[in-house]
Structure 1
Amino acid sequence: MAHLTPSSSTSGFFQALPTLPPQYTWSASEQATGSQSDDRVLARVLNLYLPDPPTPQLSKHFHDFSRLVLHPSTLQHTVNAETNQPTLHPLTTFGEINTTDPLRTSEGWRSLKHIQTQAGIVGYGYPQYTLHQTFNRRIHQFATLHLWHGTAALATCPMAMTDGAAVLLRRHLDDPDHDQPGRKQTLTESYRRLTSLDSSYAWTSGQWMTERTGGSDVSNTETTARRMTPSEIQSDFSTDAHGLPLGPWLINGFKWFSSATDADMAVLLAQTSKGLSAFYAPLRRQTPTLSRSGSQMNGVRPQRLKSKLGTKGLPTAELEIKNMRAFLIGTEGQGVKEISSILNITRLHTASGGAGYLSRGLAVSRAYTQVREVRGGLLADNPQHLSWMATETVKYTANTNLVFLGVALLGASEQGDAARTPASSSIIPKDKNTIDVLLRILTPVMKAQVTLNSVSGLQACMESLGGVGYCENNEDGGVMNIARLFRDAAVGPIWEGTTSVMAEDVLRVIKNPKVKTDVLDQVFGEWTRAALQAVRSEFPAEVTIVENRYAALKQMVGGLKAHELHRRGREVLEHIEAVACACLLMYDTCLDKDEVAMAIAKRWVRMIALPSDTVQGGSLGAWEKEVELDRRIFLGSDTLPSTRAQARL
């Protein structure tokens, strides 16, 4: 009998630590042929929406940042923010209300905010910081964001609200002050700070809408605002913490769920005598007397921090507001209209987050698959495992394409023809109104569907690691901590409106009783038909399946009464997602006839086919070839079989 040697804590089998390659790689010598990427979806998206050949400055930016997000010096901030959570200190040493620094965040959290500001997570979406004006700024911005999500520990949340606030303020930079002296000066300086790349100068913004009564229904807002009297203004002539004028409105109320409580300013809703209105308010103001910090909270008192499933580093608080000085934004009583521009941006950011978290989860799963030994072989040689994760990769590919279509549409709406490329000309409408309506339809769809799929996809990624995936792996920089990604992603289907709210939002657009035309068919239908016409010769059978899916959507929307359609609102979201993603995947494939991209497109179409459609089986016939295609979809085109993989161990 052979002698058996027991293992111990320091001997026996030790799993090799997976190594995550950067998502994007570029060198000057590759300029003529394009760039390589561990995240092939991102590489293809950039080829579609950015100039060809790629601009060296942009490619270098993505190359360098994709390495920074995985560097140990950056990952240590992620772990620090996750494990050293925000704390609240409501009272001073002797029991007075702490109006100076009641909220404290971790060094890691603050460092992540500095990194993302300098990386242009917001700033690169605006003209003053774009390298030049001949490409889509929003693609530049959101591609950077896509690389960052997996590391950011939800420091991206305040950046989403900052982006939305910048869009809102930009619309009002030329508004005259009228009876609000100093407003133009304040909004102009605030806009500069919100879009700055200088972390010592830049601001972040909060977005305070949610109250106990309404949740996503802001019509029940109980926070109120009143105009100050001349004598009140004269007796309180102090400025904000940066010397800018304070507004002539006083806001009082309670905000139940306020993320980015450590922001520099906030956009919030409050009731006035003319209805729900939007306001700008700084979070800090100069103190009446000199204090240790020189500033204090502007009528804001955090009551308690939320204990959440995820987003642990993000300070989310219940806020009591007493006599907060503020400026009215836009027209009094038109607050919902004003904040709609913010919501469209933050919903796009939320969808981007869902795709970004899943990108990192799949990267960890790929790396683990190639080193994990199971029953004498590697997971990379397990056909069931490859088939399963290839399917998750197909979903991720479809949803990432959907997100970046939304990003490209936003850029085209803001920049016009400068945001188009020859490759994307058939899927980016030329008319601005059509672009805006299409984006208005697709934004709630992608926010709902991409975030839902992100949660299920990250659960699969966790499972693909076995017990390791379920653990909070904060060792080795936390790069293996899919559990954190899963917890953070779980808020996506809830933030900025639940999936049901998104369904209602889509129906408000496509079934608006004030609009006599068929918005669904004239905008989304026309876009679908144009995209399918561009791919029909390459995908004749698949085009028919997608046309049938669109016909089912059109019949549902046109044939059901309002109450029944409302009941089936989530089906509407699923139909639009299915059709849009199918069009995008087939269109992308037709640009270069890439074999893996073609397989992904065909698999997605098979997945979304109606039960009545006849769908062909594996396109390659022999199951061995299907396994090899699974390997290439999930692990990459250059992945080798087990003999080479085992040799690397």
Structure 2
Amino acid sequence: MSRANNHQGMSEGVDYGQFEEGRHVNYWDLDHPLERALRRTYTDEEYEWAEPHLAAFGETVGRTIADNADYVDDHGPELHTYDDLGEVWNHVRYPLEQIENDRLAYEQGIVADSFRAPPGREEPMPLSHTLSMQYLLSYADVGFDCPVAMTAGAALVLEKFDDGDLTEYADALTSRTYDDLIEGAMFLTEKQGGSDVGANETRAEYDESVDCWRLYGEKWFCSNIDAEGTLALARTEDAPEGTQGLSMFLVPHADPDHGDGPTTKGDRIEDGPLEPEAVNDQLYRRLKDKLGTTAVPTGEVEFTGAKAYLVGEEENGFKQMTEMLNLERLSNAAAACGLMGRAVLESTIYAANREAFGDTIDQYPLMRADLVDMVVDHEAATAFTFEAARLLDVRERRERTGRESADATGAHAIESADDAYRLMRLLVPIAKLRTGRMAVDTASYAMEVHGGNGYVNDFVTNRLLRDAQVLPIWEGTENVLSLDVLRALERENAHEPLLEAIEGALESATHPALADAAETVDAEYHDLAGALATLAGEDGEYAQLTAKRLAHYVFDVFTAALLLEQAQVALENDDGRPALIARRFVETTLEDRPARGIASGDRFALEAFESIVRGVPVEPETLAEPTAADD
């Protein structure tokens, strides 16, 4: 696709009928919500640097990585635990297409640019930059994104907690050169514990003879099983029970006493599988036979005295893990949004080309309504996710530079990093909770749009749905995340910055085209505030009973206010399309419509289809008064 149809030049919208399918295109060029989110999240200088890099990466993902992803789904990684002589080998064999994808992603800075100053800059990009690239990568395959996300998470943990002993590993995790890179992983789940991390039984014993720790125990669900820089939780001798007794360790893939420094991707490509004497004392027992995400090898690991390095202080592992989880959960949400974007793109292209009863199916009212709502869901999920990412960046900027961020944008900008952290702690689990479910629903309907072909493995919608189903599970299920929402409210008083942010966003939405929607959201805002006050006076059992409903309610009200605020800014710049997005989101999530709207005469999906789905510009003056229904 020519750059004439990119973000800056879509005066007539996108003719999706020109494409045969959602590949061999530039995903950045075709993605409106990510651009809007990053213009809000980045400083002007950051966006100016990032835009051409994201465009180049969108081209790489659309042209090469997407094709490789289909091959890898059919020919995924294979585990060879033992060599021909029965010695432990722990060798995972990857198809060359997967290695090419990894090299392309890492060497374009998907992790490095958020931890090291990239070429042309004096400082690293914010963490939202790795999230934006992960979002684009997930247009191709969320399975590829899992190791990337954990590599960034491991790098963040070492940046925050390592005292310098693991500098070689930190440098390798953030390398822009693939041959010098190591990937990260996080082994948490144990068979008896599951989501109850405090029940972990893996133990750590210090071995003076080799001047490092040794781990004993098993991990049950280990994604990126052969990562060269795995983080694992274990309990040292005499440590207390529960989460407070856990310490964090970095476990190398190879025995660290063999070789000079971490075993990198280049070492493994050049030298091949480990020799028996170079194997760390761990056993990769088997890979899981999963529904989807074939690209990331997930298996069972038994530590049999594996050499490991303590990260930070003893018995501080759970706190360190939560810092990683904030980024991991946002990675999960960004991946969900990217997958939704691919599902919407495939559906829109298919509907613009598939003919039935003498016309393309995107000309029929039911399909138009479905595509409009798929686009609105995608834009809402992306706006919420990257607002949470923006708040994380406010805090991380202060930790990195020692000063408050001076670039917060929007009418409800958080004034301090402390308030940003409190609100971020609430929004991150909600972002992961809601977007994971939305990705499943969107991928499922994309399959339905394609009919029988969509159900067949030859078409990408089959894989999108299989891959999407893990997104509500990774990094915590809805129930686990809902309880985390309660903890954020109880421990951080996160309701205070939440209500302040919603109120500020509503105060900014002054355009007449937003009046009715803003009135609806304002009423819900007061109901939400009342619900939070009521919940504060109830017992813990009742709070847990309502936690999931509360999490979804916060998402709906906060997202509605956020979309209205963004629509106000766009209207001031003569762009009416975001107002249509905001109004539709409010209508479908917050309005109580008698007879489910059947008798309302509402023709919104028909009248707004060209603007919402194809990106045809909307003049703000046409939005001031709602269009009267036909008699």
Correspondent of 2:37 among 18, 37, 45: 45
State yes or no: 1:439 paired with 2:414: no
- Bigger mean CA deviation after superposition, 53-62 or 407-416: 53-62
Q: Which of the numbers 532, 544, 568 marks the counterpart of 1:566?
A: 544
Q: CA deviation at 1:614?
A: 12
> Structure 2: how far apart are the matches of 1:154 and 1:291?
24
The residue aligned with 1:647 is: none
Report if the CA contact (8 A) 1:166-1:194 is conserved. Answer: yes
Distance verdict in 2 for CA 1:521–1:59, change over 3 Å: closer
Query: Which residue does the alignment assign to 1:194?
Result: 173
Please say if 1:404 is aligned against 2:386.
yes
CA distance in 2 between partners of 1:169 and 1:54 (Å): 25
Determine helix, strand or coil for the equivalent of 1:154.
Answer: helix
For 2:69, what is the secondary structure of its paired residue? helix
Deviation of 1:443 (Å):
0.3
Match of 1:172 among 161, 182, 198: 161
- Provide the residue aligned with 2:226 in structure 1: 262
Matches within 5 A, 1:89-128: 89-94=80-85, 96-99=86-89, 101-128=90-117
Task: Describe the SS at the equivalent of 2:232.
Answer: strand
Q: Following the alignment from structure 1 to structure 2, what is the Cα–Cα distance between the partners of residues 213 and 260? A: 21
Report the CA distance between 1:347 and its aligned residue: 0.6
Q: Which residue of 2 aligns with 1:382?
A: 364
> Is contact 2:186–2:222 with CA below 8 Å preserved after alignment?
yes
Task: Give me the whole-angstrom Cα distance separating, in 2, the residues matched to 1:500 and 1:317.
Answer: 24
Contact 2:248 2:310 in 1 (8 A): yes
SS at match of 1:511: helix
- The reply on whether 1:304 has 2:286 as its aligned counterpart is yes
Deviates more, 1:521-530 or 1:126-135: 126-135
Tell me whether 1:79 sits opposite 2:94 in the alignment.
Answer: no
Note the C-alpha offset of 1:61: 1.3
Letter in 1 for 2:252: P
Q: TM-score, normalised by structure 1?
A: 0.82
Residue 587 of structure 2 aligns with which residue?
A: 606
| Pair 1:325–1:377, CA change in 2 (3 A) | same
CA distance in 2, matches of 1:329, 1:61: 33
- Bigger Rg, which one: 1
State the one-letter code of the partner of 2:440: V
Question: Could you say which residue in structure 1 is the equivalent of 2:578?
Answer: 597
Deviations 1:581-610 (A, max 9, x none): 111111111112122211110111112226
Which of 502, 516, 535 pairs up with 2:509?
Answer: 535
Contact 1:121 1:141 in 2 (8 A): yes
Q: Secondary structure at the match of 1:312?
A: coil
Q: Distance in 1 between matches of 2:223 and 2:455?
A: 27
In 2, Cα distance between equivalents of 1:618 and 1:327: 66
Determine the structure 2 residue equivalent to 1:277: 247
The residue that corresponds to 2:265 in the other structure is none
Matches within 5 A, 1:475-554: 480-512=459-491, 519-538=493-512, 539-554=514-529
Whole-angstrom CA distance in 2 between matches of 1:613 and 1:166: 52
Residue 114 of structure 1 deviates from its aligned partner by: 1.4
Instruction: Kindly indicate whether the alpha-carbon contact (under 8 Å) linking 2:222 and 2:301 is maintained by their aligned counterparts in 1.
Output: yes
Please report how far the alpha carbon of residue 555 of structure 1 lies from its aligned counterpart in structure 2 after TM superposition.
Answer: 2.7
* Equivalent residue in structure 2 for 1:65, among 44, 57, 62: 57
1:138 aligns with 2:127: yes
- The Cα shift of 1:322 comes to 0.7
Q: Return closer, same or farther for 1:583/1:188 CA change in 2, 3 Å cut-off.
A: same
Identity of aligned residues (%): 26
- Distance in 2 between the 1:618 and 1:342 partners? 50
568-577 or 48-57: bigger deviation: 48-57
Question: Is the CA contact (8 Å cut-off) linking 1:50 and 1:135 kept in structure 2?
Answer: no
Residue 130 of structure 1 deviates from its aligned partner by 6.7
SS of the residue 2:383 aligns to: helix
Aligned equivalents of 1:118 and 1:418: distance in 2?
Answer: 31
Aligned partners of 1:393 and 1:359: how far apart in 2?
8
How well do the aligned residues superpose, as a CA RMSD in angstroms? 2.9
| Match in the other structure for 1:556 | 531
Alignment partners' CA distance in 2, 1:482 and 1:556: 39
Note the alpha carbon deviations across 1:3-23, whole angstroms, 9 max, x for none.
xxxxxxxxxxxx993465745
SS for the counterpart of 2:555 is helix
- The gaps in structure 2 that reach 5 residues or longer are 1-17, 240-244, 260-270, 619-631
- 2-side partners of 1:336 and 1:286: how far apart? 25
Indicate the residue corresponding to 2:612 in structure 1: 633
1:80-137 per-residue CA deviation (whole Å, 9 max, x = no partner) reads 221112222223323x2323x4322222222222121112221121242274368962
Q: Aligned to 2:255, what secondary structure does the other structure show? A: strand
Q: What secondary structure does 1:552 align onto? A: helix
SS at match of 1:250: strand
User: Cα–Cα, structure 1 residues 445 and 281, in superposed 2: closer, same or farther, change >3 Å?
Assistant: same
- Cα 1:60/1:318, change in 2 over 3 Å: same
1:181 match: none
SS of corresponding position for 1:408: helix
1:330 paired residue number: 312
Q: Give SS of 2:110's match.
A: coil
Letter in 2 for 1:446: A
**CA displacement 1:465-510 (0-9 Å, x = unmatched):** 111211222xxxxxx5011111111101011110000000010111
The match for 1:426 among 411, 418, 421 is: 411
Asked if 2 retains the 8 angstrom alpha-carbon contact of 1:269 and 1:277, the reply is yes
Q: Is the 8 A contact 2:495 2:532 kept in 1?
A: no
Number of aligned residue pairs: give it: 572
User: How far off is 1:537 after superposition?
Assistant: 4.8
1:152-185 deviations in Å (ceiling 9; x for gaps): 3512111111111111111134x3xxxxxxxx34
